[in-house]
A and B are shown apart, each in its own frame.
Chain A
Amino acid sequence: MENLADLWLTYQTAVAFIGVNALLALSVYATLCCGQLSLANAGFMAIGGYAGALLTLHTQLPFALVLAAAAALPALVAVPLGLPVLRLRGVFLAIATIGWGEVVRLALVNWDYTNGALGLVAIPQRAGPGIIFLCLALALFVFWRLRGGRTGYALEAIREDEPAARTLGIDTTAHKLAMFVLGAALAGLAGGLEAHLTFMVAPSGYGFARVVDMLVQAVVGGVAHFGGPVLGAAFLTLLPEGLREVSHLTGMEPGPLRLLANGLVLLAVILFLPNGLVSLPGRLRAWRDERRAARALVD
């Protein structure tokens, strides 16, 4: 029993981070599931993180309200941003959203009220695995209920063939905007939670590397099912632990090693397992059935 308690203490932080990363990966999934590659969520995460930090540091608001604000503010910003930007085709949308993330980061670096590049520190630790997983459970519930309903099928239709979906009466702009806003809210929520987990917020934590991280976790996990991003987040958050041995063996610093591992995993997934880890059991089953059928022919 004591060992279990020790184990928990050691891994509590890792578990909390898995939760935060899962929320971020889900925020990317929100737009990917209707076929939009939006790389804007680091910017929304920054807004949520800073909003949460500022509210905690300067007001007496209860944590639940702080989190609600951290989710709501980016969601509000996402509406006027999304309307023009979601009209753009794939590659252009990706570029515009990359630009957005950098705009937010740049604005924060130049904002003296929040100490510019240094950011805010000494944020009390109000977030722990409990509340993080409560938020995650809520997010997963929303995605679960979306799937298989009228809206869920509309989103899948948009992903498969947007103009055809429109001819069936689906207001694709409204749907895409809704998912864009949902993604922003989730990213903001994750940002607020993380700020109260790591005691600080700084512009450097919300750069392009962050966006790539989120994307990697969503894609590696798999975007055919909402469980995929959670799986991807768990896998890639725990990966650095497993890499410590490799770091000793190769003499490579843990920082670049983690980056390298992320890149290699993403490349392997996109080339060989494009539907992510979540599709692995299905693929293995299909492969096994094929082998069985082939053997049956020979016998």
Chain B
Amino acid sequence: MLLSIEGVSRAFGGVRAVEDVTFAVGAGEVHGLIGPNGAGKTTLLNLVSGLLRPTAGRILVGGARADGLASHRVAALGVTRTFQNIRLFPHLSALENVLVGEHLRRDAPLWRRMLCLPAAAREERGARERALALLAQVRLEDRAQEQAGNLSYGEQRRVEIARALGAEPRVLLLDEPTAGMNPAEVDSVASLIRAVARLGHSVLLVEHNVPLVMKVCDRITVLNFGRVIAGGAPGDVARDQAVVDAYLGTRR
């Protein structure tokens, strides 16, 4: 198992945002994380990506402990993410945003650049080409020079995904990537996610769009009030009574 969440809990004062959550994501697997608002999905992503520290439990990436690590070290383990409220670098171009995403996989020691060595220039060209290729994958290569802040909402989301892919992560965390998108754009993201998984990355997908999750995911975990209430193949989860109750509310 590539990403392993074991008994993870996180409390804020008296509020237990995430409680004793356990599940795992395998290599090349698209794993959905769903649940009503406030179920703790984004908190869990923040825990996995190192922005928060769990108050209990362990998080393992490729067998190595990730909980308690600073977020840049978690990234170095191979975990990158997108954000619910899109956090692109607004004054950088789309291409430059993706270039920053490649930070971890670039071999560009400063002294080489200071000495103006041709190897440095070659490496840079390579990095830019890879960034352009990633933008092409999300169908935005013609917007490469545009300032990220000027892109449309849907375009920004796609750039953010391309940026997260720049590091060639083992695990890609997506936080509601299709929020606010029209059906055509949602389909586009769906095929992108499947393409990413085919390339060998694992994907942990937090989403409100349940039909999308059912279509795209290999397995799903359902959260409610910070706890896991169901998990397994999409078909099984859809029929699970606890899940139905959580979404629709129990009849009085």
| Chain A residues near B (Cβ < 8 Å) | 142, 145-146, 148-151, 153-154, 156-157, 160-161, 163-172
Contact = CB atoms under 8 A, between A and B. Distances in A.
B103 A170 contact: yes
Interface stretch (B19-27, B76-84, B224-232): B76-84
B62 to A, nearest CB: 15
B87 to A, nearest CB: 4
A164 B83 CA distance: 9
Nearest to B120: A149
A166 B83 CA distance: 13
Contact of A154 (B100, B116, B120): B100
Contacts of B114: 142, 145
A149 B76 contact: no
Given A153-B96, A160-B92, A161-B87, A168 B104 contact: yes
Contact of A169 (B75, B91, B96, B110): B75
B113 A156 contact: no
Nearest to B97: A157
B96 A167 contact: no
Given A160-B89, A160-B90, A149 B113 contact: yes
Given A149-B113, A153-B96, A153-B103, A169 B167 contact: yes
Please tell me the size bucket of the interface on B: 35 or more
A161 B160 CA distance: 13
Given A168-B75, A169-B104, A151 B110 contact: yes
Contacts of A156: 89, 91-92, 96, 100
Chain B CB within 10 A, most for which of A146, A153, A167, A171: A167
Contacts of A145: 113-114, 116
A71 to B, nearest CB: 17
A164 B110 CA distance: 23
30 contacts: A142-B114, A145-B113, A149-B113, A150-B106, A150-B113, A151-B110, A151-B113, A153-B92, A156-B91, A156-B96, A156-B100, A157-B89, A160-B92, A163-B87, A164-B87, A166-B50, A166-B71, A166-B75, A167-B51, A167-B71, A167-B80, A168-B75, A168-B101, A168-B166, A169-B72, A169-B75, A169-B76, A169-B167, A170-B100, A170-B103
Interface in B89-131: 89-92, 96, 99-101, 103-104, 106, 108, 110, 113-114, 116, 120, 124, 127
Interface in B158-175: 163-164, 166-167
A149 B100 CA distance: 10
B4 interface: no
Contacts of A154: 100, 103
A167 B75 contact: yes
Chain A facing B: main interface SS? helix
Nearest to A156: B92
Contacts of A148: 124
A101 to B, nearest CB: 29
A59 B99 CA distance: 50
A164 B89 contact: yes
Interface string B148-191: 00000000000000011011000000000000000000000000
A80 to B, nearest CB: 20
Contacts of A168: 72, 75, 80, 100-101, 103-104, 163-164, 166-167
Nearest to A171: B72
B49 interface: yes
Nearest to B106: A150
A11 to B, nearest CB: 33
B89 A166 contact: no
Nearest to B164: A168
Interface in B46-94: 49-51, 70-72, 74-76, 80-81, 83, 87, 89-92
Contacts of B92: 153, 156-157, 160
A167 to B, nearest CB: 5
Contacts of B164: 168
Given A142-B114, A150-B106, A168-B163, A161 B89 contact: yes
A277 to B, nearest CB: 19
Contacts of B72: 166-172
A156 B71 CA distance: 18
A164 to B, nearest CB: 4
Contacts of A165: 89, 100
Nearest to A154: B103
Contacts of B167: 168-169
B108 A169 contact: no
A157 B100 contact: yes
A168 B76 CA distance: 8
